[in-house]
Chains A and B, each alone.
Chain A
Amino acid sequence: MIISTRQLCKVYRVGVERIHALRGIDLQIEPNEFVAIMGSSGSGKSTLMNIIGCLDRPTSGQYLLDGRDTSRIGVRDLARVRNQQIGFVFQSFELLPRMTALKNVELPLIYASGGWRARRRKAEEALERVGLGDRMHHRPNQLSGGQKQRVAIARAILNNPAILLADEPTGNLDTATTNELMEVFEQLHDEGQTILVVTHETHVAVHCRRTITLTDGLISSDISTSSKGDVGNGVRTVGRAIEGALGTPTAPTHRLKDA
């Protein structure tokens, strides 16, 4: 079990008001799963993502990452956990503009131990895995949106993390590029990577093997599709799931701003 949560709750205070972002999430994710988390704006999916990514801590409940209780990890060691066990991919890529693709990919390694050469080799390997072996010395402004996101993925998988977390990875990309990018995720999944994608888009979710829908801080549906061959069935299943969760017959066509 890579991820195991029990009655995960998160309460925010805004002034005197208390907002319950998560109301008790029980979630288990096995190695090499490929999971999509869906839900409307304010459903708590970003909060869940931040807690799973060790950027935030739950108000109550338990979160075991790779069997380790994260509430017992201090601030410094939590940074190490993010460095070694978690890979982040963000909607807006978050590449440093003045650095080449290679330097951007190397970034997590300067916060870890290890020599110069090993670092360079690791970063090059990661870029090759996402198919950017020929773009290593380009700067972000010389790369297309899809290429930028692939650099970000290379940065995330650099340390072979236990789990790859992608928060709306295709939110800034067109449909064709989205499909290309999902191919990269598929390929990483085939190589054994555990992946968790937060998304609004059903055509992103269909690439995943399991779709979890959040509604008002609770899991409202959790549907697994057996394999990629089952895409058609998956789309229907996911479509129904969303219909059930959101009460609307159509999937959202534009990205909603997540609170």
Chain B
Amino acid sequence: MLNPLFYIQAIVLALSQIWANKLRSILTMLGIIFGVWAVTTVVAALSGVTTMVLKEFEALGGSKMFIFPDRPDDAPRNKYPWSVIRLKPDELIALATNCPSIVAITPETNLGATIQHGERKREAVRVTGIWPDWHDIQKRATLIGRPFARVDEENARQVCLVNQDAISELGLDTDPIGQHILVRSRRFLVVGVVENRRETIFDRNVTGTEILIPFSTAVKLQDPQFFFMIIAKLKSPEVAAEAKAEARFVLRQARKLGPDEPDTFELFAADEFIAGVKRVSMVLTVGGGCVVAVSLLVGGIGIMNIMLVSVSERTREIGLRKAVGATPAAVLMQFLLEAIMLCLVGGVIGIAFGEATALALSKFPGANLQEAAVPWWAIVMSFSFCAATGVIFGMFPAIKAARLDPIEALRHE
């Protein structure tokens, strides 16, 4: 076993060698530096994007499930016409009553309508038909007045909610409760004001007038084959898979689909989305890892080259060390440690650059990467890869040094 002081001395010696040959060492380490720099930056940016996307998605409602009509892939159009695959109101009621994992459910159907208030007239305004559960699901506050109640839906009352933007665009009073607006020439009583949609990375175009009316009222205004989608709130994000199974069962039964027939609808829950984001981010991270592996390989060859030069430059020194009692293992260890130190110093510089870049990214206006940071596991991994590179590419020169014949070495010019 080697004296512990030997290791300290070898590391100090290695660092002093690096310092004494500053330019050469830096050029040698470039491959390592760039590799580590690139990967820490990529990982930092990815982790920033992932964190932000997931955060926004949670805010949007991580425990939501969306249900759309969907024509099965490769299926002939005439077999699944729109009239068959579109969601129907009785299917909505079946889902609402038969799915224990669903705690709230609402349809959403949009129609473009001409809106009039006094002299002001707006074309093609988005009018959305909803159930009262919508308030609970979308979490948009009712600022003035009241939200929809069951009675509005059951009686298909001609009442509406407007958003904040509608007040100015339609010239309504600041408190518009009790005022009337015309939707497709029908008089609707304004009963409340809901806040505007919040901007998210998924939905940037959030300004403009919005009119909300009871779903049953909207049905009367719609075409007979109108489209709607369903948004359900689940007990918790963890029951997404169960909720999907329940909804699939209910819908397949309602549509009398045989066991061989594909789904004619699509269920989409947040768990898939989160898993998707994580998968994409992992694929990118692995891709980044491959880039690093290549650049570490290139850097490693540089390290091996310079270590071979070092061994041949210091042949006499090796001879002397052997003459005064260095075992082959001690010589091997000395040169191996030097290669490892070279790689680790390169790694430190690369990580420092990566941290600086991550900081710059997080401060970059408009990049939306406030969360960008180099995760600790990336630092640990970079260091271990650097050390491994040092061991792998330093081994051959070190073995060469350890095998030198001391007599030959001392005679070397």
Contact = CB atoms under 8 A, between A and B. Distances in A.
Interface of A: 50, 53, 55-56, 75-76, 79-80, 82-84, 88, 90, 94, 96, 98, 107-108, 110-116, 119, 155
Contacts of A115: 5
A63 B321 CA distance: 23
Given A55-B406, A94-B316, A116-B5, A76 B325 contact: no
B323 interface: yes
Contacts of B319: 94
A110 B9 contact: yes
A108 B9 CA distance: 12
B86 interface: no
A88 B3 contact: no
A114 B321 CA distance: 18
A94 B3 contact: no
Interface string B307-321: 000000000110111
A219 B407 CA distance: 23
Given A79-B322, A83-B324, A111-B324, A90 B3 contact: no
Interface stretch (B327-335, B336-344, B359-367): B327-335
A90 B410 CA distance: 9
Question: Interface centre among B320, B321, B329, B410, by most A CB within 10 Å?
Answer: B320
A82 B327 CA distance: 10
Contacts of A88: 323-324
7 contacts: A56-B407, A82-B322, A107-B320, A111-B6, A111-B327, A113-B3, A119-B5
A236 to B, nearest CB: 35
Given A110-B3, A112-B3, A116-B5, A82 B321 contact: no
A155 B326 CA distance: 14
B407 A111 contact: no
Contact of B325 (A56, A82, A90, A114): A82
A94 B410 contact: yes
Given A110-B9, A111-B3, A116-B5, A53 B323 contact: yes
A71 B317 CA distance: 26
Contacts of B9: 110
Nearest to B20: A98
Interface string B1-23: 00101100100000010001000
Contact of A83 (B5, B6, B325): B325
A98 B325 CA distance: 20
A50 B411 CA distance: 12
Contacts of A96: 317, 320
A98 B16 contact: yes
A53 B330 CA distance: 19
Contacts of A98: 16, 20
A192 B404 CA distance: 34
Contacts of A119: 5
Nearest to B324: A108
Nearest to B323: A88
Contacts of B327: 75-76, 79-80, 111
A100 to B, nearest CB: 12
A88 B324 CA distance: 7
Nearest to B314: A96
A112 B324 CA distance: 10
A90 B317 CA distance: 12
Contacts of B6: 110-111
